[in-house]
């Protein structure tokens, strides 16, 4: 009599069932793992902005003012000798407060950032100035088309609802003759504001926020910016700085529409945040005209003319749902993409006399 014995192992059906169960489990766990990783990256981004906020308060405690958005440093290679786009940024001024005194001591104050004497400064990668969620922020000193760029930056100083903070060209021959060109935000060029000028309250006024770094290539991505022709209508945005851009919605909408048309037409560049050392609108400053991660106006920045000294440079991030921002009291808060434009603009101004509650953003 033949005895029947089952061979050890799984049948094909059993194996397929096990594989299906594993696939379902992976499908359930993967989003949770990705979410946990993004939560960690967002927490690190918030910590970076917290360090910048503390440095800002320590700077103000020492000098009774906040740093300039762009310092009036001379330039050896441009005429006149203090071109506005070549001053040092507020981040450079705060290096001692960020425990970077040694790097700060390497600066040659006789020249601007663009000369070889300060190459060590502008090419030193600073992890504190990089959001780990930004895919374009992982590289240190980068190059494109044979040109070497500086160490990048994700964190931008707020100039409020003003489109630019540099005086109109041509500049006077002496920096001391520069006009008192101010902005509605906490930062401006060649001048410093203090807490006395922040009449909306430190807890109601944004000091720094984040924006995505451009990929510096010819491929359009979510961090791409655009250039549009420099005309009188767009300059009106800058002249309306005293009252805030939202009081002049026809001009604001014209600028946004023109920027969008250029961007959607394929006219773009990817130099946003190209250097943490440069005090300029493209590199280290932003305004609160377009809302965070604006889907209606998806450009990451829009420069008027070819200098990048005037434009609409918003806040953006790779975080789901919004962006992080440091306020003038040192606190860091998450602001959602759906924030009302008037509320967003109010948070950017230091003396707009607006009343904003925390549940509005």
Rounded to whole angstroms, the Cα distance separating 360 from 179 reads: 36
- 14 pLDDT higher than 80: no
Q: Domain for residue 214, yes or no?
A: yes
Q: Structurally, how many domains does the chain consist of?
A: 1
- 22 pLDDT higher than 50: yes
Q: Domain for residue 16, yes or no?
A: no
Confidence at residue 80, expressed as pLDDT on a 0 to 100 scale: 46
Q: Domain for residue 15, yes or no?
A: no
Q: Domain for residue 275, yes or no?
A: yes
192 within 8 A of 207, measured Cβ to Cβ: no
Of 161, 183, 155, give the one whose Cα is nearest residue 288.
Answer: 161
**What is the value of pTM for the model shown?**
0.83
Residues 6+ apart with CB under 8 A from 342: 246, 354
- Helix pair 249-264, 232-239: axis angle to 10 deg: 130
Confidence at residue 3, expressed as pLDDT on a 0 to 100 scale: 52
Residues 6+ apart with CB under 8 A from 58: 97
For residue 333, CA distances in Å to 175, 236, 345 come to 37, 32, 16
Contacts 24+ apart (CB under 8 A), 99-105: 100/126
Confidence at residue 193, expressed as pLDDT on a 0 to 100 scale: 87
Rounded to whole angstroms, the Cα distance separating 24 from 341 reads: 42
Q: Give the residue with greater pLDDT, 99 vs 218.
A: 99
Q: Give the residue with greater pLDDT, 320 vs 196.
A: 320
Top mean-pLDDT range of 46-60, 175-189, 258-272: 46-60
Q: Domain for residue 19, yes or no?
A: no
Q: How confident is the model at residue 121 (pLDDT cuts 50, 70, 90)?
A: confident
Q: Domain for residue 13, yes or no?
A: no
Q: Domain for residue 53, yes or no?
A: yes
Rounded to whole angstroms, the Cα distance separating 158 from 181 reads: 15
Digit-coded pLDDT (tens) for 72-100: 655 444 444 445 445 889 999 999 999 99
Of 95, 112, 223, give the one whose Cα is nearest residue 175.
Answer: 112
Domain membership of residue 210 as a residue range: 27-360
Confidence at residue 246, expressed as pLDDT on a 0 to 100 scale: 57
- The residues that bridge with 164 in the sheet, in sequence order, are 310
Q: Domain for residue 148, yes or no?
A: yes
Rounded to whole angstroms, the Cα distance separating 73 from 175 reads: 9
Confidence at residue 330, expressed as pLDDT on a 0 to 100 scale: 95
Q: Give the residue with greater pLDDT, 273 vs 3.
A: 273
Of 150, 155, 149, give the one whose Cα is nearest residue 131.
Answer: 155
Q: Residue 178, SS3?
A: coil
Q: Picking from 163-172, 266-275, 320-329, which range would have the lowest pLDDT averaged per residue?
A: 163-172
Digit-coded pLDDT (tens) for 28-79: 666 655 567 888 899 999 999 999 999 999 999 999 999 988 886 554 444 4
């Amino acid at each position: 009599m033949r005895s029947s014995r089952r061979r050890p192992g799984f049948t094909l059906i059993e194996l397929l069932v096990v594989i299906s169960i594993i696939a379902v489990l992976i499908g359930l766990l993967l989003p949770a793992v990705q979410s946990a990783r993004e939560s960690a990256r967002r927490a690190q981004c918030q910590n970076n902005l917290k360090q910048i906020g503390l440095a800002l308060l320590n700077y103000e405690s020492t000098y009774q003012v906040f740093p300039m958005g762009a310092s009036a440093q001379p330039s050896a290679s441009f005429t006149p000798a203090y071109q506005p786009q070549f001053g040092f940024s507020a981040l450079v001024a705060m290096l001692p407060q960020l425990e970077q005194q040694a790097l700060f001591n390497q600066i040659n104050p006789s020249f601007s950032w663009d000369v070889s004497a300060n190459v060590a400064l502008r090419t030193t990668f600073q992890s504190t100035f990089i959001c780990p969620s930004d895919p374009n922020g992982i590289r240190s000193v980068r190059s494109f088309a044979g040109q070497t760029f500086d160490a990048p930056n994700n964190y931008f100083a707020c100039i409020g609802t003003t489109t630019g903070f540099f005086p109109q060209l041509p500049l006077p021959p002496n920096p001391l003759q520069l006009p008192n060109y101010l902005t509605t935000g906490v930062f401006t060029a060649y001048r410093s504001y203090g807490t006395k000028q922040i009449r909306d309250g430190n807890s109601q006024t944004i000091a720094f926020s984040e924006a995505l770094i451009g990929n510096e290539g010819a491929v359009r991505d979510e961090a791409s910016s655009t250039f549009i022709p420099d005309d009188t209508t767009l300059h009106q945005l800058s002249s309306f700085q005293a009252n805030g851009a939202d009081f002049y919605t026809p001009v604001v909408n014209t600028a946004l529409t023109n920027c969008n048309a250029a961007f959607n037409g394929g006219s773009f560049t990817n130099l946003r945040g190209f250097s943490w050392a440069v005090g300029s609108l493209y590199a280290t400053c932003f305004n609160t005209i377009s809302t965070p991660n604006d889907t209606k106006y998806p450009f990451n920045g829009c420069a008027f003319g070819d200098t990048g000294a005037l434009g609409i440079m918003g806040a953006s991030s790779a975080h789901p749902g919004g962006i992080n921002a440091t306020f003038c009291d040192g606190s860091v808060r998450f602001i959602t993409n759906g924030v009302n434009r008037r509320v967003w603009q109010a948070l950017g101004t230091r003396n707009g006399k607006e009343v904003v509650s925390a549940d509005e953003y």
